[in-house]
Structure 1
Amino acid sequence: MEHFLEKLIFRSRWVMAPFYLGLVLSLVMLLVKFCQELIHMAPLVLDMNENQMILLVLSLIDMSLAGNLLLMVIFAGYENFVSKIDTGDSEDRPDWMGKVDFSGLKLKLIASIVAISGIHLLKAFMNVEGQNKENLAWMVGIHMVFVVSGVLLALMDRIVEGPKSHH
């Protein structure tokens, strides 16, 4: 009975696979929105002022960072919790793939969130005259919470790791 239960629990990791497939679909949906934004704005580029162009580029970077974040979660989550991804001898396999553990994923996740939050904050500052000062203060406060959370997560990981000898 114990052996059966352990096999069942071990095989239950495959229940996570549909979650990662859903995230792949989310990546495709993000690509659609990226292309939609690019196609919508491309004809207007000659009529844009500098600030509008910078805001467009920041929006595209924001979506790109979100896509990178999704990809990291998909790859690292699947490899850490479901199964190793067999890419054969592909030269295109990212160096970090298979090396990002849960702790590394957590730090990459918070770093991406801080970057995305920073881009949203920069976009708000690009149009500071049109921003409600209270909303701007909330945005700065929330961004700082993300930054402090990231620092604390990194500090906790460093404490858990303990002193390492560098021989």
Structure 2
Amino acid sequence: MQLRLEHFLERLMYASRWIMAPVFLGMSLILLMLAIKFFQELYHFVPHILEVDDGQIILKLLTFIDLTLVGSLTLIVMFSGYENFVSRLDIGSEAEKLEWLGTHDYGSLKLKVATSIVAISSIRLLKVFMEVENTENDKMLWFVVIHLTLVISAFIMGYLDKISKHG
């Protein structure tokens, strides 16, 4: 009796991973929202391209890069999370398969997310530096402190991942 109950509970817990499937599917809506925002920004920027100075062009370019990085991070989390925690993607042999798909375990997924967050933070910090005259000193300090915290955290995670694989 106890063995059957244990087996039932284990199967139920294992099946509960499918609760995450709609969450990963919902991330597709986030991608759609990012694409809409990207093209909205582009639509408003292109007509004024001849009127803005180089600094404003660079700031807008950083916005586009930022949105692209967030979208890429969303894709990585969506596909890797689904494959790691729900089920392998069965898209057929004739479909184009992303080369990295199925190669990220949970540790490498965390490291990818951390490095992507550092990249996004770097772009945000660069935007703040480019508008330094509009930023208060104490806010600038907090931006730098937060960014350095993210960098150090990503470095420590990468180091711990490296020693856990080799140690």
CA distance in 2, matches of 1:64, 1:94: 18
Which residue in 2 is equivalent to 1:134?
138
Query: Shift of the alpha carbon at 1:3?
Result: 2.3
Residue 39 of structure 1 aligns with an amino acid whose one-letter code is Y
Query: Shift of the alpha carbon at 1:160?
Result: 1.4
Residue 117 of structure 1 aligns with an amino acid whose one-letter code is S
Are positions 1:64 and 2:41 aligned together? no
Query: Deviation per CA, 1:78-126, whole angstroms, max 9, x where unpaired?
Result: 0000000112224631111001010000000010000000000101111
CA distance in 2, matches of 1:140, 1:114: 12
Where 1:92 maps in the other structure, the secondary structure is coil
Residue 89 of structure 2 aligns with an amino acid whose one-letter code is I
Query: Deviation per CA, 1:35-67, whole angstroms, max 9, x where unpaired?
Result: 111111111111110000001110000000000
Return 5+ residue gaps in structure 1 as ranges.
none
The 5 Å alignment of 1:1-167 reads 1-90=5-94, 92-163=96-167
CA distance in 2, matches of 1:148, 1:92: 37
Instruction: Say how many residue pairs are matched.
Output: 163
CA distance in 2, matches of 1:72, 1:44: 34
Task: Indicate the RMSD between aligned Cα atoms, in angstroms.
Answer: 1.1
CA distance in 2, matches of 1:139, 1:3: 51
CA distance in 1, matches of 2:64, 2:129: 17
Query: Shift of the alpha carbon at 1:2?
Result: 2.3
Instruction: Percent identity, please.
Output: 47
CA distance in 2, matches of 1:93, 1:145: 36
Where 1:121 maps in the other structure, the secondary structure is helix
TM-score by length of 1: 0.94
Residue 50 of structure 1 aligns with an amino acid whose one-letter code is D
Where 2:89 maps in the other structure, the secondary structure is coil
Higher mean C-alpha deviation, range 63-72 or range 3-12:
3-12
CA distance in 1, matches of 2:34, 2:151: 25
Moved >4 Å (runs of 4+)? none
Return 5+ residue gaps in structure 2 as ranges.
none
C-alpha spacing 1:124/1:158, structure 2 compared with 1 (3 Å): same
CA distance in 2, matches of 1:74, 1:42: 31
CA distance in 1, matches of 2:95, 2:22: 27
